[in-house]
Structure 1
Amino acid sequence: MKTETVDGSTLETWSADEVAKALEANEIVLIDVRTPQEYMFEHIPGALLMPMAFFDAAKLPTQDGKRIVFHCGSGARSEKVARNAISAGMDPIAHLDGGFGAWKAAGKAHMGTDMGTGAPKSVPAKS
């Protein structure tokens, strides 16, 4: 994990492996800040959706017992949202380095779309 101090608060940048391990252990709340269309096409199971366009830090859950980790497609939007959360007083806050693209590149399990039928399909982790 990489860390950066932003206005006296800690911004953490987590790898796909770190996020997967913490999500499996139920230690984090993973929040997807992509659009609803992106989320419906493919997403990380268990991730909550809070699109960046509608982001309101005041509506975030507390971090009592669980860290909040944001993710998007590439890491750019999630970093911006994480910085907004820090400005709203959340500390520490984290985001997924490389976003969903890094998650898939790391071979992590996710929900996708069957292009033949349009139905959701589980994409297993690659060994």
Structure 2
Amino acid sequence: MKSEKVGDATFETWTVDEVARAFDANEIVLIDVRTPQEYMFEHIEGALLMPLAFFKGDKLPDQGKKRIVFHCGSGVRSERVARAAIAAGVTPIAHMEGGFGAWKEAKKPFIGTNMATGAPQSVTPE
């Protein structure tokens, strides 16, 4: 994990493996900031959706027991949202380096769309 001081706040960048371990251990809330269309097509199972276009940092839940980690497609939007969360007073805050693309590249499981039926399906890359 990389960390950076932003004023009095701590901004963290987590690797895919760090996010996967913490998510599996129920230690974080993973928030997807992509569009609803991107999320519906494929997403990390259990990740919440809070699109960048509708993001309100002051509406985030308290991080008493679980840390918040944002992710998007490549890491650009999630970094932007994480910095906006810091500006809203939410700290520490993190985002996933490389986004969903890195998640898939690391062969982590996700929910995809069956192109024949349009139904969601579990995908476990090999």
TM-align CA RMSD: 0.8
Aligned partner of 2:16 in structure 1 is 16
* Cα distance between partner residues in 2 of 1:90 and 1:59: 10
**Relative to structure 2, which stretch is displaced further, 114-123 or 44-53?**
114-123
Give SS of 1:18's match: helix
Counterpart residue type for residue 48 of structure 1: L
Residues of 2 paired with 1:28 and 1:67: CA distance? Answer: 5
Q: Cα deviations across residues 13-34 of structure 1 (Å, max 9, x unaligned)?
A: 0011000000000000000000
Aligned residue number for residue 88 of structure 1? 88
Q: Is residue 117 of structure 1 aligned with residue 114 of structure 2?
A: no
Q: TM-score, normalised by structure 2?
A: 0.97
Unaligned runs of 5+ in 2: none
Using the size of structure 1 for normalisation, the TM-score is: 0.97
Residue 57 (structure 1) aligns with: 57
TM-aligned CA deviation for residue 119 of structure 1: 1.0
Aligned residue pair count: 126
CA distance in 1, matches of 2:74, 2:36: 16
Deviations 1:30-76 (A, max 9, x none): 00000000000000011000000000011111100110000000000
- Identity rate, percent: 70
* Mapped partners of 1:41, 1:102: distance in 2: 17
Once the two structures are superposed, residues 75-117 of structure 1 have per-residue CA deviations (whole angstroms, 9 ceiling, x without a partner) of 0000000000001111110000000000000000000011111
Q: Which residue of 2 aligns with 1:4?
A: 4
Q: Which runs of 4+ in 1 moved over 2 A?
A: none
Matches within 5 A, 1:17-36: 17-36=17-36
Q: CA deviation at 1:8?
A: 2.0
